[in-house]
Amino acid sequence: MPDAERKIRVLVAKCGLDGHDRGVRIIARALKEAGMEVIYTGLHQTPESVVEAAIQEDVDVIGLSVLSAAHMTLFPRVMSLLRANQSEHVLVTGGGIIPDEDKAALQALGVGELFRPGEAPIERMVEYIRGEVARRRGREGVG
């Protein structure tokens, strides 16, 4: 199937010692119900294992859930590893407890939209991922 026609593939991950995965499981299910293929790596991943899995699974999106205040370490490391593996086309997005100034700094590094608990309806996340993947694939209306 041509890349532009295949389903959006999303890898969702929890890095580090953060053991709170209820929210990421809800997001994963919602993305799956929206017609996306979702891979959940489980708890206690490293940025290296996340990027390796993303490359092996040929995903369009990596969604990191960070509630441990390690976002300024984890997101930049994932971005660096994607660049090192010529995989900059993968959208890195996610959410967690991320202050505004840190969101701006991460987005300046190339991280996509970041969603905080209770601030964005899941439908907005789905729309954002669909729109951004369509843009990156060079067409509209990707599902």
| Closest to 138 (Cα-Cα) out of 3, 18, 1 | 3
Please write the tens of the pLDDT for every residue from 81-123: 999 999 999 999 999 999 999 999 999 999 999 999 889 899 9
Tens digit of each residue's pLDDT (9 = 90 or more) over 29-42: 999 999 999 999 99
Question: What domains lie within the chain, and their CATH numbers?
Answer: 3-136 (3.40.50.280)
Exposure class string for 28-38: b at 16+ Cβ within 10 A, else e? bebbeebebeb
**pLDDT, average across residues 123-141:** 89
pTM score, two decimals?
0.92
Q: What contacts 127, CB < 8 A, 6 or more positions away? A: none
